[in-house]
Structure 1
Amino acid sequence: MPNNSYQLPSAVLWDMDGTLIDQTAGIIRCFADVITQFGKGTPDPMEIRRSMGGTMRHTMGLFIDQSQIDEACVAFRARFPEIMFEGLIILPGALELIKALHQAGIPQGILTNKHGPTARTVSAHCGFDQYIPVCIGNTDTEWNKPQAELTHFAREQIGAEIEGTLYIGDSPTDASTALNAHLTAYGVSTGAHSCAELKQAGATEAFNSLEDLIRFWKL
Protein backbone atom coordinates (compact mmCIF):
# COMPACT_ATOMS: atom_id res chain seq x y z
CA MET A 1 0.00 0.00 0.00
CA PRO A 2 1.42 3.42 -0.89
CA ASN A 3 2.31 5.87 1.82
CA ASN A 4 -0.64 8.25 1.71
CA SER A 5 -0.62 9.42 5.32
CA TYR A 6 -0.45 13.05 4.21
CA GLN A 7 -3.75 12.62 2.34
CA LEU A 8 -5.66 10.47 4.77
CA PRO A 9 -7.91 11.66 7.61
CA SER A 10 -6.92 11.03 11.20
CA ALA A 11 -10.28 9.32 11.88
CA VAL A 12 -13.47 8.43 10.01
CA LEU A 13 -17.08 8.24 11.13
CA TRP A 14 -19.37 6.47 8.68
CA ASP A 15 -23.04 6.65 7.93
CA MET A 16 -24.44 3.18 7.20
CA ASP A 17 -27.51 3.08 4.92
CA GLY A 18 -26.76 4.27 1.41
CA THR A 19 -23.09 4.72 2.29
CA LEU A 20 -21.70 1.31 3.25
CA ILE A 21 -24.76 -0.77 2.40
CA ASP A 22 -27.88 -0.68 0.30
CA GLN A 23 -30.68 -2.04 2.46
CA THR A 24 -33.26 0.03 0.63
CA ALA A 25 -35.40 -2.88 -0.55
CA GLY A 26 -36.03 -4.19 2.97
CA ILE A 27 -36.50 -0.73 4.47
CA ILE A 28 -38.98 0.39 1.81
CA ARG A 29 -40.89 -2.88 2.09
CA CYS A 30 -41.08 -2.53 5.87
CA PHE A 31 -42.29 1.07 5.72
CA ALA A 32 -44.88 0.09 3.10
CA ASP A 33 -46.08 -2.86 5.20
CA VAL A 34 -46.49 -0.72 8.31
CA ILE A 35 -47.99 2.32 6.58
CA THR A 36 -50.64 0.26 4.78
CA GLN A 37 -51.30 -1.61 8.03
CA PHE A 38 -52.31 1.76 9.47
CA GLY A 39 -54.84 2.28 6.70
CA LYS A 40 -52.78 4.56 4.49
CA GLY A 41 -52.08 4.16 0.79
CA THR A 42 -48.92 2.53 -0.50
CA PRO A 43 -46.13 5.11 -0.09
CA ASP A 44 -43.95 6.37 -2.93
CA PRO A 45 -40.69 4.38 -2.69
CA MET A 46 -38.61 7.37 -3.84
CA GLU A 47 -40.08 9.59 -1.13
CA ILE A 48 -39.00 7.00 1.44
CA ARG A 49 -35.58 6.66 -0.19
CA ARG A 50 -34.88 10.39 -0.17
CA SER A 51 -35.94 10.68 3.47
CA MET A 52 -33.42 8.06 4.56
CA GLY A 53 -30.64 9.53 6.65
CA GLY A 54 -33.15 11.09 8.98
CA THR A 55 -34.88 9.25 11.80
CA MET A 56 -37.53 6.59 11.41
CA ARG A 57 -39.98 8.98 13.08
CA HIS A 58 -39.29 11.60 10.42
CA THR A 59 -39.96 9.18 7.57
CA MET A 60 -43.01 7.71 9.28
CA GLY A 61 -44.36 11.22 9.84
CA LEU A 62 -44.46 11.79 6.10
CA PHE A 63 -47.21 9.19 5.81
CA ILE A 64 -48.70 8.49 9.26
CA ASP A 65 -50.82 10.72 11.50
CA GLN A 66 -48.82 12.23 14.37
CA SER A 67 -51.01 10.45 16.91
CA GLN A 68 -50.02 7.07 15.41
CA ILE A 69 -46.28 7.55 14.92
CA ASP A 70 -45.16 5.91 18.18
CA GLU A 71 -47.28 2.84 17.48
CA ALA A 72 -46.10 2.72 13.87
CA CYS A 73 -42.43 2.86 14.92
CA VAL A 74 -43.00 -0.05 17.31
CA ALA A 75 -44.61 -1.99 14.46
CA PHE A 76 -41.65 -1.22 12.17
CA ARG A 77 -39.12 -2.48 14.73
CA ALA A 78 -41.12 -5.67 15.20
CA ARG A 79 -41.40 -6.30 11.45
CA PHE A 80 -37.96 -5.28 10.20
CA PRO A 81 -35.88 -8.11 11.73
CA GLU A 82 -38.00 -10.58 9.76
CA ILE A 83 -36.95 -9.09 6.40
CA MET A 84 -33.85 -7.04 7.17
CA PHE A 85 -31.40 -9.11 5.12
CA GLU A 86 -33.63 -9.47 2.06
CA GLY A 87 -31.86 -7.75 -0.82
CA LEU A 88 -29.12 -6.30 1.39
CA ILE A 89 -26.08 -5.25 -0.65
CA ILE A 90 -22.64 -4.32 0.64
CA LEU A 91 -21.76 -1.41 -1.61
CA PRO A 92 -18.76 -1.84 -3.92
CA GLY A 93 -15.54 -0.80 -2.23
CA ALA A 94 -16.98 -0.68 1.29
CA LEU A 95 -15.11 -3.60 2.83
CA GLU A 96 -11.97 -2.83 0.85
CA LEU A 97 -11.94 0.78 2.03
CA ILE A 98 -12.66 0.20 5.70
CA LYS A 99 -10.08 -2.60 5.78
CA ALA A 100 -7.46 -0.35 4.16
CA LEU A 101 -8.15 2.45 6.64
CA HIS A 102 -7.94 -0.05 9.50
CA GLN A 103 -4.59 -1.32 8.23
CA ALA A 104 -3.41 2.30 8.03
CA GLY A 105 -4.17 2.67 11.75
CA ILE A 106 -7.05 5.09 11.25
CA PRO A 107 -9.81 4.71 13.87
CA GLN A 108 -13.32 4.33 12.47
CA GLY A 109 -16.85 4.28 13.82
CA ILE A 110 -20.34 3.93 12.40
CA LEU A 111 -22.82 6.65 13.34
CA THR A 112 -26.30 6.06 11.97
CA ASN A 113 -29.93 6.92 12.56
CA LYS A 114 -30.73 3.23 12.10
CA HIS A 115 -31.98 1.55 15.29
CA GLY A 116 -28.80 0.83 17.28
CA PRO A 117 -29.25 -2.93 17.89
CA THR A 118 -30.29 -3.41 14.26
CA ALA A 119 -27.27 -1.44 13.04
CA ARG A 120 -24.89 -3.62 15.05
CA THR A 121 -26.56 -6.79 13.74
CA VAL A 122 -26.13 -5.53 10.18
CA SER A 123 -22.52 -4.51 10.84
CA ALA A 124 -21.70 -8.00 12.10
CA HIS A 125 -23.57 -9.64 9.21
CA CYS A 126 -21.56 -7.59 6.69
CA GLY A 127 -18.21 -8.08 8.44
CA PHE A 128 -17.73 -4.39 9.20
CA ASP A 129 -17.28 -5.06 12.92
CA GLN A 130 -13.92 -6.74 12.22
CA TYR A 131 -12.54 -3.29 11.43
CA ILE A 132 -15.07 -0.91 13.00
CA PRO A 133 -15.79 -1.93 16.60
CA VAL A 134 -17.89 1.15 17.43
CA CYS A 135 -21.40 1.31 15.94
CA ILE A 136 -23.82 3.85 17.40
CA GLY A 137 -27.41 4.17 16.30
CA ASN A 138 -30.79 5.58 17.15
CA THR A 139 -31.92 4.91 20.76
CA ASP A 140 -28.34 4.29 21.95
CA THR A 141 -28.30 7.84 23.32
CA GLU A 142 -30.80 10.65 23.83
CA TRP A 143 -29.66 12.29 20.56
CA ASN A 144 -30.13 11.73 16.84
CA LYS A 145 -28.23 12.83 13.75
CA PRO A 146 -27.52 15.61 12.91
CA GLN A 147 -27.22 16.74 16.56
CA ALA A 148 -23.65 17.69 17.41
CA GLU A 149 -23.86 16.01 20.82
CA LEU A 150 -24.29 12.60 19.18
CA THR A 151 -21.47 13.18 16.72
CA HIS A 152 -19.09 14.24 19.48
CA PHE A 153 -20.13 11.23 21.56
CA ALA A 154 -19.31 8.90 18.66
CA ARG A 155 -16.04 10.70 17.96
CA GLU A 156 -14.99 10.33 21.57
CA GLN A 157 -15.81 6.61 21.48
CA ILE A 158 -13.14 6.11 18.81
CA GLY A 159 -10.64 8.39 20.55
CA ALA A 160 -10.59 11.00 17.79
CA GLU A 161 -10.12 14.76 17.88
CA ILE A 162 -12.31 17.18 15.94
CA GLU A 163 -9.48 18.23 13.64
CA GLY A 164 -8.79 15.64 10.98
CA THR A 165 -11.96 13.61 11.53
CA LEU A 166 -14.24 13.00 8.55
CA TYR A 167 -17.90 12.08 8.50
CA ILE A 168 -18.78 10.22 5.30
CA GLY A 169 -22.36 9.80 4.17
CA ASP A 170 -24.80 9.87 1.28
CA SER A 171 -27.34 12.49 2.34
CA PRO A 172 -27.65 16.17 3.25
CA THR A 173 -28.40 15.00 6.80
CA ASP A 174 -24.93 13.46 6.87
CA ALA A 175 -23.33 16.71 5.74
CA SER A 176 -25.18 18.51 8.53
CA THR A 177 -24.08 15.83 10.99
CA ALA A 178 -20.47 16.68 10.19
CA LEU A 179 -20.78 20.44 9.98
CA ASN A 180 -22.82 20.82 13.17
CA ALA A 181 -19.94 19.16 15.04
CA HIS A 182 -17.22 21.08 13.14
CA LEU A 183 -16.05 17.96 11.30
CA THR A 184 -15.23 17.73 7.61
CA ALA A 185 -18.00 16.20 5.50
CA TYR A 186 -17.36 13.89 2.55
CA GLY A 187 -20.27 12.71 0.44
CA VAL A 188 -20.87 9.63 -1.72
CA SER A 189 -23.73 9.66 -4.20
CA THR A 190 -24.52 6.00 -3.56
CA GLY A 191 -27.91 6.79 -2.03
CA ALA A 192 -30.65 9.09 -3.31
CA HIS A 193 -28.66 12.33 -3.62
CA SER A 194 -26.26 13.54 -6.30
CA CYS A 195 -22.73 14.79 -5.76
CA ALA A 196 -23.97 18.30 -6.54
CA GLU A 197 -26.67 18.05 -3.86
CA LEU A 198 -24.16 16.77 -1.32
CA LYS A 199 -21.69 19.57 -2.04
CA GLN A 200 -24.50 22.10 -1.86
CA ALA A 201 -25.35 20.65 1.58
CA GLY A 202 -21.78 21.29 2.73
CA ALA A 203 -19.65 18.31 1.75
CA THR A 204 -16.06 19.33 1.07
CA GLU A 205 -15.65 16.48 -1.42
CA ALA A 206 -18.25 14.25 -3.06
CA PHE A 207 -17.70 11.02 -4.96
CA ASN A 208 -19.82 8.83 -7.19
CA SER A 209 -18.75 5.70 -5.32
CA LEU A 210 -16.58 4.38 -2.52
CA GLU A 211 -14.30 3.01 -5.22
CA ASP A 212 -13.72 6.59 -6.37
CA LEU A 213 -12.78 7.49 -2.80
CA ILE A 214 -10.31 4.60 -2.71
CA ARG A 215 -8.70 5.98 -5.86
CA PHE A 216 -8.73 9.52 -4.44
CA TRP A 217 -6.78 8.33 -1.42
CA LYS A 218 -4.63 5.98 -3.56
CA LEU A 219 -5.35 3.08 -1.23
Structure 2
Amino acid sequence: MTLPMPPQAVLFDLDGTLVDSAPDLVGALQALCAEIGAPPPDAEAVRTVVSAGGRAMLRRGLPQPDEATVERHLPRFLAIYAERIAEATRPYAGIADFLDRLEAEGIAWGIVTNKPGWLARPLVERLGWAGRCAALVSGDCLAAKKPDPLPVLHACGLAAAEPARTWFVGDDRRDIEAGRAAGTPTVAAAWGYLDGGDPATWQADLVIAAPSGLSALLGRTGG
Protein backbone atom coordinates (compact mmCIF):
# COMPACT_ATOMS: atom_id res chain seq x y z
CA MET A 1 0.00 0.00 0.00
CA THR A 2 1.19 3.55 -0.76
CA LEU A 3 0.29 6.74 1.05
CA PRO A 4 -2.48 8.75 -0.64
CA MET A 5 -1.47 12.23 -1.67
CA PRO A 6 -3.04 14.29 -0.17
CA PRO A 7 -4.73 12.30 2.62
CA GLN A 8 -8.29 12.94 3.72
CA ALA A 9 -7.13 12.60 7.33
CA VAL A 10 -4.08 11.83 9.42
CA LEU A 11 -4.49 9.82 12.62
CA PHE A 12 -1.84 9.63 15.32
CA ASP A 13 -1.00 7.60 18.35
CA LEU A 14 -0.59 9.95 21.33
CA ASP A 15 2.28 9.02 23.67
CA GLY A 16 5.56 8.73 21.81
CA THR A 17 4.10 9.95 18.53
CA LEU A 18 2.49 13.34 19.09
CA VAL A 19 3.89 14.04 22.55
CA ASP A 20 6.84 13.12 24.72
CA SER A 21 4.95 12.22 27.90
CA ALA A 22 7.81 10.20 29.39
CA PRO A 23 9.00 12.94 31.77
CA ASP A 24 5.65 13.03 33.59
CA LEU A 25 5.15 9.26 33.51
CA VAL A 26 8.67 8.51 34.74
CA GLY A 27 8.25 11.22 37.37
CA ALA A 28 5.04 9.57 38.57
CA LEU A 29 6.80 6.22 38.83
CA GLN A 30 9.69 7.79 40.72
CA ALA A 31 7.19 9.32 43.16
CA LEU A 32 5.44 5.97 43.60
CA CYS A 33 8.72 4.18 44.29
CA ALA A 34 9.60 6.80 46.90
CA GLU A 35 6.16 6.33 48.50
CA ILE A 36 6.48 2.57 48.82
CA GLY A 37 10.15 2.53 49.73
CA ALA A 38 11.35 0.96 46.48
CA PRO A 39 14.62 1.98 44.82
CA PRO A 40 14.38 4.64 42.09
CA PRO A 41 13.51 3.16 38.69
CA ASP A 42 15.87 3.19 35.73
CA ALA A 43 14.38 6.18 33.91
CA GLU A 44 15.72 5.25 30.47
CA ALA A 45 14.54 1.66 30.77
CA VAL A 46 11.05 2.83 31.72
CA ARG A 47 11.01 5.41 28.93
CA THR A 48 11.34 2.78 26.21
CA VAL A 49 8.07 1.09 27.24
CA VAL A 50 5.90 4.18 27.74
CA SER A 51 3.84 3.34 24.64
CA ALA A 52 3.07 -0.09 26.11
CA GLY A 53 1.12 1.42 29.02
CA GLY A 54 1.17 1.66 32.79
CA ARG A 55 1.54 -2.03 33.53
CA ALA A 56 4.60 -2.27 31.29
CA MET A 57 6.14 0.72 33.05
CA LEU A 58 5.55 -0.83 36.46
CA ARG A 59 7.02 -4.15 35.32
CA ARG A 60 10.09 -2.31 34.11
CA GLY A 61 10.43 0.11 37.03
CA LEU A 62 9.53 -1.87 40.16
CA PRO A 63 12.04 -4.33 41.63
CA GLN A 64 11.13 -7.89 40.55
CA PRO A 65 7.37 -7.32 40.40
CA ASP A 66 4.86 -10.11 39.97
CA GLU A 67 1.52 -9.42 38.34
CA ALA A 68 -0.27 -9.07 41.67
CA THR A 69 2.20 -6.35 42.67
CA VAL A 70 1.72 -4.57 39.37
CA GLU A 71 -2.07 -4.60 39.72
CA ARG A 72 -1.88 -3.43 43.32
CA HIS A 73 0.23 -0.39 42.50
CA LEU A 74 -1.32 0.53 39.14
CA PRO A 75 -4.19 2.69 40.49
CA ARG A 76 -1.87 4.77 42.67
CA PHE A 77 0.65 5.16 39.85
CA LEU A 78 -2.05 6.45 37.51
CA ALA A 79 -3.45 8.75 40.20
CA ILE A 80 -0.03 10.33 40.72
CA TYR A 81 0.38 10.68 36.97
CA ALA A 82 -3.05 12.33 36.63
CA GLU A 83 -1.97 15.00 39.10
CA ARG A 84 1.03 15.94 36.94
CA ILE A 85 -0.29 14.96 33.52
CA ALA A 86 1.04 17.92 31.55
CA GLU A 87 3.75 19.39 33.75
CA ALA A 88 6.60 18.41 31.44
CA THR A 89 4.78 16.70 28.54
CA ARG A 90 5.31 18.53 25.26
CA PRO A 91 4.63 17.89 21.57
CA TYR A 92 7.67 16.64 19.71
CA ALA A 93 9.52 19.29 17.73
CA GLY A 94 7.74 19.81 14.43
CA ILE A 95 4.39 18.35 15.49
CA ALA A 96 2.70 21.69 16.22
CA ASP A 97 3.73 23.04 12.82
CA PHE A 98 2.51 19.89 11.08
CA LEU A 99 -0.90 20.05 12.76
CA ASP A 100 -1.18 23.70 11.74
CA ARG A 101 -0.31 22.68 8.19
CA LEU A 102 -2.96 19.98 8.11
CA GLU A 103 -5.63 22.38 9.33
CA ALA A 104 -4.58 25.07 6.84
CA GLU A 105 -4.97 22.56 4.02
CA GLY A 106 -8.33 21.28 5.25
CA ILE A 107 -7.03 17.86 6.25
CA ALA A 108 -8.65 16.40 9.35
CA TRP A 109 -6.50 14.89 12.08
CA GLY A 110 -7.24 12.74 15.07
CA ILE A 111 -5.83 10.64 17.88
CA VAL A 112 -6.13 6.89 18.50
CA THR A 113 -4.61 5.93 21.83
CA ASN A 114 -4.78 3.03 24.26
CA LYS A 115 -4.56 5.57 27.08
CA PRO A 116 -7.84 5.58 29.06
CA GLY A 117 -10.12 8.48 28.35
CA TRP A 118 -9.91 9.91 31.87
CA LEU A 119 -6.21 10.52 31.21
CA ALA A 120 -6.24 11.16 27.47
CA ARG A 121 -8.92 13.85 27.51
CA PRO A 122 -7.28 16.10 30.14
CA LEU A 123 -3.94 15.79 28.41
CA VAL A 124 -5.40 16.75 25.03
CA GLU A 125 -7.23 19.66 26.66
CA ARG A 126 -4.10 20.91 28.41
CA LEU A 127 -2.27 20.82 25.09
CA GLY A 128 -4.98 22.97 23.51
CA TRP A 129 -6.06 20.31 21.04
CA ALA A 130 -9.53 19.41 22.31
CA GLY A 131 -11.33 21.70 19.91
CA ARG A 132 -9.03 20.96 17.02
CA CYS A 133 -8.81 17.18 16.57
CA ALA A 134 -11.59 15.54 14.59
CA ALA A 135 -11.36 12.34 16.63
CA LEU A 136 -10.09 11.28 20.03
CA VAL A 137 -10.48 7.54 20.44
CA SER A 138 -9.19 6.35 23.81
CA GLY A 139 -8.41 2.84 24.96
CA ASP A 140 -11.63 2.42 26.97
CA CYS A 141 -14.30 3.86 24.69
CA LEU A 142 -14.82 0.77 22.50
CA ALA A 143 -14.97 -2.98 22.95
CA ALA A 144 -11.40 -3.36 21.68
CA LYS A 145 -8.20 -1.36 21.52
CA LYS A 146 -5.07 -1.42 19.38
CA PRO A 147 -3.81 -3.65 17.79
CA ASP A 148 -7.45 -4.34 16.96
CA PRO A 149 -8.50 -2.21 13.95
CA LEU A 150 -11.80 -1.09 15.53
CA PRO A 151 -10.45 2.13 17.12
CA VAL A 152 -8.77 3.18 13.87
CA LEU A 153 -11.95 2.53 11.88
CA HIS A 154 -13.98 4.45 14.45
CA ALA A 155 -11.61 7.40 14.21
CA CYS A 156 -11.87 7.35 10.41
CA GLY A 157 -15.63 7.55 10.77
CA LEU A 158 -15.41 10.49 13.18
CA ALA A 159 -13.06 12.26 10.79
CA ALA A 160 -15.32 11.49 7.80
CA ALA A 161 -12.38 9.88 6.02
CA GLU A 162 -12.00 6.67 4.07
CA PRO A 163 -9.45 4.31 5.68
CA ALA A 164 -7.60 3.89 2.40
CA ARG A 165 -7.14 7.67 2.24
CA THR A 166 -6.08 8.09 5.88
CA TRP A 167 -2.54 7.99 7.22
CA PHE A 168 -2.05 6.32 10.60
CA VAL A 169 1.15 7.33 12.39
CA GLY A 170 2.45 5.49 15.46
CA ASP A 171 5.56 4.54 17.39
CA ASP A 172 4.56 1.01 18.42
CA ARG A 173 4.14 -2.21 16.47
CA ARG A 174 0.52 -2.33 17.65
CA ASP A 175 -0.18 0.96 15.87
CA ILE A 176 1.08 -0.43 12.59
CA GLU A 177 -0.82 -3.69 13.04
CA ALA A 178 -4.03 -1.81 13.83
CA GLY A 179 -3.64 0.50 10.85
CA ARG A 180 -2.87 -2.30 8.43
CA ALA A 181 -5.85 -4.32 9.66
CA ALA A 182 -8.09 -1.26 9.26
CA GLY A 183 -6.90 -0.70 5.70
CA THR A 184 -5.02 2.56 6.34
CA PRO A 185 -1.57 3.35 5.02
CA THR A 186 0.80 3.33 7.99
CA VAL A 187 3.77 5.43 9.06
CA ALA A 188 6.14 4.25 11.80
CA ALA A 189 7.30 7.15 13.97
CA ALA A 190 10.96 6.32 14.58
CA TRP A 191 11.30 9.35 16.87
CA GLY A 192 9.10 7.68 19.51
CA TYR A 193 9.63 5.17 22.30
CA LEU A 194 9.48 2.08 20.02
CA ASP A 195 9.21 -0.33 22.99
CA GLY A 196 12.73 -1.51 22.20
CA GLY A 197 11.67 -2.60 18.73
CA ASP A 198 12.98 -1.86 15.26
CA PRO A 199 10.27 -0.06 13.25
CA ALA A 200 11.87 -1.24 10.03
CA THR A 201 10.56 -4.72 10.85
CA TRP A 202 6.93 -3.66 11.46
CA GLN A 203 5.86 -3.68 7.80
CA ALA A 204 4.77 -0.05 7.88
CA ASP A 205 4.37 1.66 4.53
CA LEU A 206 6.93 4.25 5.60
CA VAL A 207 9.35 4.75 8.49
CA ILE A 208 10.04 8.41 9.24
CA ALA A 209 12.84 9.54 11.51
CA ALA A 210 11.39 12.88 12.68
CA PRO A 211 8.09 14.80 12.46
CA SER A 212 9.68 17.10 9.88
CA GLY A 213 9.54 14.13 7.54
CA LEU A 214 5.75 14.24 7.68
CA SER A 215 5.72 17.85 6.53
CA ALA A 216 8.19 17.04 3.78
CA LEU A 217 6.01 14.15 2.66
CA LEU A 218 2.88 16.29 2.63
CA GLY A 219 4.78 18.85 0.61
CA ARG A 220 4.90 16.39 -2.27
CA THR A 221 1.13 16.62 -2.61
CA GLY A 222 1.39 20.07 -4.07
CA GLY A 223 -0.91 21.37 -1.33
> Which TM class, normalised by the smaller chain length?
0.7 to 0.9
Is 1:172 aligned with 2:173? yes
**Partner Cα distance (1:152, 1:34) in 2:** 36
Instruction: Give the aligned partner of residue 94 of structure 1.
Output: 95
**Partner Cα distance (1:34, 1:144) in 2:** 27
**TM-aligned CA deviation for residue 117 of structure 1:** 2.4
Is 1:27 aligned with 2:25? yes
**Partner Cα distance (1:48, 1:141) in 2:** 28
1:49 to 47, 50, 75: 47
- Structure 2 segments unaligned to the other structure (5+ residues): none
**Partner Cα distance (1:106, 1:31) in 2:** 37
Residue 114 of structure 2 aligns with an amino acid whose one-letter code is: N
**Partner Cα distance (1:69, 1:182) in 2:** 35
**Partner Cα distance (2:198, 2:138) in 1:** 24
Instruction: Give the aligned partner of residue 81 of structure 2.
Output: 80
- Report the TM-score when normalising by structure 2: 0.83
Of the structure 1 ranges 20-29 and 126-135, higher mean CA displacement relative to structure 2 is found in 126-135
Q: In the comparison of the two structures, how many residue pairs are matched?
A: 213
| Paired residues of 2:49 and 2:194 also in contact (CA < 8 A) | no
**TM-aligned CA deviation for residue 172 of structure 1:** 2.4
- Structure 1 segments unaligned to the other structure (5+ residues): 1-5
Instruction: Give the aligned partner of residue 3 of structure 1.
Output: none
Percent identical across equivalent pairs? 22
Instruction: Give the aligned partner of residue 18 of structure 1.
Output: 16
**Partner Cα distance (2:34, 2:156) in 1:** 38
**TM-aligned CA deviation for residue 36 of structure 1:** 5.5
| Paired residues of 1:53 and 1:173 also in contact (CA < 8 A) | no
Instruction: Give the aligned partner of residue 65 of structure 1.
Output: 66
**Partner Cα distance (2:148, 2:131) in 1:** 27
Residue 98 of structure 1 aligns with an amino acid whose one-letter code is: L
**TM-aligned CA deviation for residue 155 of structure 1:** 2.3
Report SS of the residue matched to 1:29.
Answer: helix
| Paired residues of 2:111 and 2:135 also in contact (CA < 8 A) | yes
**TM-aligned CA deviation for residue 134 of structure 1:** 2.0
- Report the TM-score when normalising by structure 1: 0.84
**Partner Cα distance (1:120, 1:96) in 2:** 21
**TM-aligned CA deviation for residue 35 of structure 1:** 4.7
**Partner Cα distance (1:180, 1:39) in 2:** 44
Report SS of the residue matched to 1:86.
Answer: coil
